[in-house]
Structures are given as C-alpha cells and as structure tokens.
Amino acid sequence: MKQLVRLFIGVFAAAFVLLFLAARLNTSEGYSGKNTLTIYNWGDYIDPALIKKFEKETGIKVIYQTFDSNEAMLTKIAQGGTTFDVAVPSDYMISKMKQEHLLIPLDHDKLPNLKYINPRFLDLSFDKGNKYSVPYFWGTVGIVYNPKMLGGKKITSWNDLWDKDLRNQILLVDGAREVMGMALNSLHYSLNDTNEKHLLQAKRKLDALTPNVKAIIGDEIKMLLADEEAAVGVVWSGDAAEIISENPKLDYVVPKEGSNLWFDNMVIPKTAKNIEGAYKFMNFMLDPKNAAQNAEYVGYSTPNEAAMKYLPKDIRNDQRFYPDLDKVQNLEVYENLGKRMLARYNELFLEFKMHHK
C-alpha cells in the first residue's frame, strides 16, 4: 500500500512540474500571446529577411504557417483549432469570410501607412471601405510562353492554346477557378458565369484541349517552364515574373478575351490573440521600403504607390506586370459564387482532370 501511495505522490509531483514548466513556457518571452505573432500566408509569399527585421524591431516572435489554397485556409480558420493573428486571403474569399463572421473589423487609426496604397486598390467590391482587409499584392492570370520553342509564334489569345501544334506542350495551374475561367473567357463568357449551359460548354472545350495539356500541376510549374520542359503555361503573373527572371527567353501575356484581376489582402481572423501585434505587422508591411523589398523578392505587383520609387526601373516599368489598369479591357475579379456553385466549378474541373489522365 505504501508503495502505491509513493507511486501516486511521484506521479502527482511529476505532473505538477510539467504543468509548471508549461505555464512558464507560455508566459516567457517569445511564447506568450503578446510576444508571438502567428501569420497564415501562401507559400514563398514574403521575403524572410522582412520577418527577421520585424522581429528585431518589435521583439515579437513570428510563427509563419502556409496554405496552398483559399479553401484550405478558410477551413483551418473556421475550425478555430489554431490561432492565426494575420492571414492573407484573396478577394472572393474575403467576401466569404465576412459573411461567415470570421474577420475582425480594422481600426484604420492603427494603420497610418495605409495612406501609401494606390487608391485604385482601395474600396473594392469585395470589401467596401477596407473595413476588414488591407492590400498586400495584386496581379493577373495569363499565359507564359516560349517564342523560341514555338518557332517565333506569338500568343495573344486563350483560343491560341487549342492550336494543334501545341500538342503535349501546355502546363496548367491546378486551380478550378483559373482553368474554368480560362475556358469561359475563351468563349467570351464571364469567369464568374453561373449559367449551367455555359459551364458545360466550357467543360467540353476543356476536354478538347486535353491532347495539348502536358500536366496540371502546382508550384513546380515555374521550374518546368523555366527549364523549357514545356512551351506554354497558364500561370499567375507573379509566377510569370519569376519564371522570366530565370529564363528571359520567355514572355507573358494577358489574353485579349479577358482574364482574372486578383487581389490578396491582409486580414485579422476572429480567433486572433495578438491583435496589437497584427496591426504592427500589417503597418510594417505597408511601409513603402518594406513593400518594395517584398515585391522585388516575391515577384508579384505591389499596390503600394509610394513603394514604386524603390523598385528597380526594369520592374516598375514592365507593362506585363504593372499594366495601366484603366486601359486593360475585360479583367474581372473573382466573385464569391456560393457553396453550391463553387462545388459545381470544382466538380467540372475534377472531371476534366480525370479526363486528362
């Protein structure tokens, strides 16, 4: 009996010590809510040097986690198991997160550097008045192509992709909205179309593209195009900039039928624990020099007007990635289509992928 009592006391003491150490860890510098900031962002979507700079300036430890789709990000935040202080969703997802009450309204007084954002990128339809979001990057969806591999041929249209000479030469990003949107645009329909007949027509047209499609892939699309493993790729503009920096022989075009104009913004999720730290980080990223450094590293277009003077001339003057949006026709922002219609887009895209295999 005494042995049992001693064993019980020993277990109790060990448990107490573990609880004490856990409490100390949770309140020590670098691990408490006030001294830790958890950021949820796309992969390779920030200059790591800026994270170190922010940590040094503020004494706040950054925990950086990544997602590969807006839908995956939404699911994780909606579940609420993990605390995220700052997230970077895209336009249509911000609208959806607002509807589901997953965002904290912003106090603009705590974001003085918001004044540096080009007014063209503020007060947009998915977040009027920027009540919940702050611009981070913007860009387009278009076509990267290798003129040399195409015998000097230029690509200007989505419909050029159905050319029989491009057999097994096209790489597509693994995104339902992007690929379905490409097909819809090629038929001169909106990439937010919800007409079932139009969607089926777009799916049939995608099936006809199958002989030309080499692969439907993720981030490796950049390496494959730069290494000339394929002649053509449907990509986001920032990826295009990175690909072209690796292989200047390539070019990028936004097709004449139209395409997606997208915006990624910073938000504070409802479950955030370090709200003050979130404001500090957002304002830090809005600083013109930091914004320019981030844009040069990532390759996407900055909405920060004051940052432009800090970018190299060859970047800020490149009309492929910094076009005059007032002169570019038929660019659309993805709308929140609702669960049922988004599921339909995903279903048709999955059928196309299976058909490709």
Least confident of 17-26, 27-36, 273-282: 17-26
Q: How far apart are CA 226 and CA 244, in angstroms?
A: 7
Domains 11-137+263-316 and 139-261+327-356 share a fold: yes
Q: How far apart are CA 234 and CA 143, in angstroms?
A: 5
Order of strands across the sheet that contains 86-87: 61-67, 36-42, 86-87
Q: How far apart are CA 240 and CA 262, in angstroms?
A: 15
Q: How far apart are CA 142 and CA 235, in angstroms?
A: 6
Q: Which residues have a Cβ under 8 Å from the Cβ of 347 and sit 6 or more positions away? A: none
Q: How far apart are CA 310 and CA 316, in angstroms?
A: 9
Q: How far apart are CA 313 and CA 322, in angstroms?
A: 12
Q: Which residues pair with 332 in a beta bridge?
A: 260
* Per-residue confidence band for 71, with pLDDT thresholds at 50, 70 and 90: confident
Domain ranges of the chain: 11-137+263-316, 139-261+327-356
For the record, the structure tokens of 195 come out as 């007409």
Is the separation of the CB atoms in 20 and 45 below 8 Å? no
* Per-residue confidence band for 10, with pLDDT thresholds at 50, 70 and 90: low
Q: Which residues have a Cβ under 8 Å from the Cβ of 15 and sit 6 or more positions away? A: none
Phi and psi (nearest 5°) for 81?
-70, -30
Q: Which residues pair with 35 in a beta bridge?
A: none
Q: Is 60 helix (H, G, I), strand (E, B) or coil?
A: coil
Instruction: Provide the Cα torsion 194, 199, 200, 202; round to 10°.
Output: 170
| Rounded percentage of the chain residues whose pLDDT exceeds 90 | 81
Question: Quick check: 17 pLDDT over 50?
Answer: no
Return the ∠ at Cα 149 (arms to 147 and 154), rounded to 5°: 25
pLDDT of residue 25: 38
For the record, the structure tokens of 304 come out as 């920060």
* Per-residue confidence band for 82, with pLDDT thresholds at 50, 70 and 90: confident
Mean pLDDT of the chain: 90
Average pLDDT over residues 245-273: 95
pLDDT of residue 33: 57
Is the separation of the CB atoms in 286 and 304 below 8 Å? yes
Domain 11-137+263-316 has CATH 3.40.190.10: yes
| Rounded percentage of the chain residues whose pLDDT exceeds 70 | 90
Domain 139-261+327-356 has CATH 1.10.287.130: no
> 22-33 burial, b if ≥16 CB within 10 A, otherwise e?
eeeeeeeeeeeb
Average pLDDT over residues 199-206: 98
pLDDT of residue 27: 35
pLDDT tens readout for residues 324-350: 887 777 899 999 898 899 899 999 999
Q: Which residues pair with 38 in a beta bridge?
A: 63
DSSP string over 288-354? HHHHHHHHHHH-SBP-BGGGGGGS-HHHHT-TTTS--TTT--SEEPPP---HHHHHHHHHHHHHHHH
Q: Which residues pair with 341 in a beta bridge?
A: none
For the record, the structure tokens of 176 come out as 């339902």
Question: Quick check: 15 pLDDT over 50?
Answer: no
